[in-house]
Structure 1
Amino acid sequence: MLGKIFQNIFKTMIAVSAMVALTGSPSYAHCNSTDMKETAKAVELRQAQRDLWIGHVFWVRNVALATKAGDVKAAQVAEQNVVKNARAIADSVAPVYGKPAADKLFGLLAGHYGAVKEYMTAAYAGNEVAKDAAVAKMTGNANEIATFLSSANPNWPKETLMRLLSAHAGHHIAQIEAFAKNDYATEAEIWDAMKDHMYMIADALAAGIVKQFPKKF
């Protein structure tokens, strides 16, 4: 039963990722139009966001993998880097939105990781009730992040952000379920999809900033 549920989650997340990539919102599509030439500063911003968001999934994956292996030290180091990366992601928006906004984003990212970690703990313990509670937290947190970001930048529509963030949460869930089952072949597929999706999120965020502050980029 769990195997079928897991497979459906994975397939749904891939479909959602593809849908966002193809249809997106008008503003997101415009920002990423191939007709628009990127300046050197815009390219630098996009690449920096990609590096930061890939760092997020890399270190969270390390926490999940080390925890499954029972390597407490490795898990602790990975978690320290999850926090460090979240701070870096938040601080990356400070130059345009200010430190209070960066601090708010850091708190929201901490909430995201906390919910993912709760799901991991529940999945490894086989606690279905706790898993459901963690999913509810992830969903609520995604809504908070989408609301916060869309209020800061009109080029980040809340609906688009919710689709992106929901797919991202689904990747975390599918990855943890694969680790719980020792299904590393499937996890490898999820990891590839997760990385591609992180680039999608990073590109959307960078494009929105460039469009909102064209004189800076």
Structure 2
Amino acid sequence: MEWTPSKVELNRKLRSLWEQQVYWTRLTVNSIVDGLKDEKETTERLLRNPDDFAAVLAPLYGTAVAAEFAKLLRGHLTIAAELVKALKAGNSKAAADAQKRWYANADAIAAFLSRINPHWSEAEWRQMLHEHLRLLSNEVATRIAGNYAENVASSDRIEQQALEMADVMTRGIVQQFPSAFLR
């Protein structure tokens, strides 16, 4: 793929959004697990990210499609917070329920993305999103256990994987809307 300035800008925006997603998720997890006073504010900032994604997607896909993606992504985040709280409280039944819904939400996101863009594979997105959930689950578990070295290493893996998702998203958008990225 030849990198025109408009392609570079799209990739920059998507990479920034995915990095913000994992950054604010990490801060929210830390706030929940450690009972920090900034939990409310940090969570509110995290929940702004789906709308930021929608703002990038709306010019290409329309506001209704962008809003649906934001809704699915917001669900991913709120279920994750439920899961962290259940794990912290040692409530295995609530944690299992949240985890089941979390994976179902990931599958719904993968299906949605493949419906709106023929260059996005549902199977590829499902694999990436499940890997994201696996990595985030490890990050949460290591934080709760106080294994901070592994927790930081896990965060690094999540960031790298999120950037890969941004690149897949960029390639698919450019393939679907080539005339929008000629310059």
Contact 2:33/2:85 (CA < 8 Å) preserved in 1? no
Match of 1:46 in 2: 11
Deviation at 1:86, TM superposition (A): 1.5
- Calculate the TM-score normalised by the size of structure 2: 0.96
Contact 1:120/1:176 (CA < 8 Å) preserved in 2? yes
Deviation at 1:89, TM superposition (A): 1.0
Alignment of 1:116 with 2:80, yes or no, is: yes
Match of 1:165 among 129, 132, 140: 129
1:125-183 C-alpha deviation (Å, 9 max, x unpaired): 11222221111111110111111110000110100000011011112211111111011
Aligned partners of 1:69, 1:136: CA distance in 2, in Å? 24
Match of 1:68 in 2: 33
Which structure has more relative contact order (CA 8 Å, sep 6+)? It is 1
Aligned partners of 2:42, 2:35: CA distance in 1, in Å? 13
Deviation at 1:215, TM superposition (A): 0.4
Q: Which runs of 5+ in 1 are unaligned?
A: 1-35
Deviation at 1:91, TM superposition (A): 1.8
1:184-207 C-alpha deviation (Å, 9 max, x unpaired): 111111011000000000000011
Contact 1:122/1:130 (CA < 8 Å) preserved in 2? yes
Match of 1:143 in 2: 107
Amino acid at match of 1:58: Y
Match of 2:47 in 1: 83
Contact 1:64/1:176 (CA < 8 Å) preserved in 2? yes
Match of 1:26 in 2: none
Match of 1:17 in 2: none
Amino acid at match of 1:77: E
Runs of 4+ in 1 over 4 A off after TM superposition: none
Match of 2:120 in 1: 156
Match of 2:156 among 169, 184, 192: 192
- Calculate the TM-score normalised by the size of structure 1: 0.81
Amino acid at match of 2:69: L
1:83-122 C-alpha deviation (Å, 9 max, x unpaired): 1111101221001000001111111011101111111011
Q: Which runs of 5+ in 2 are unaligned?
A: none
Contact 1:179/1:187 (CA < 8 Å) preserved in 2? yes
Alignment of 1:57 with 2:19, yes or no, is: no
Contact 1:63/1:75 (CA < 8 Å) preserved in 2? yes
Contact 1:108/1:145 (CA < 8 Å) preserved in 2? yes
Aligned partners of 2:138, 2:131: CA distance in 1, in Å? 10
Secondary structure in structure 2 of the residue aligned to 1:38 = coil
Aligned partners of 1:168, 1:43: CA distance in 2, in Å? 24
Match of 1:92 in 2: 56
Match of 1:127 among 68, 91, 99: 91
Contact 1:119/1:173 (CA < 8 Å) preserved in 2? no
Match of 1:30 in 2: none
Secondary structure in structure 2 of the residue aligned to 1:131 = helix
Match of 1:174 among 138, 141, 150: 138
Q: How many residues align?
A: 181
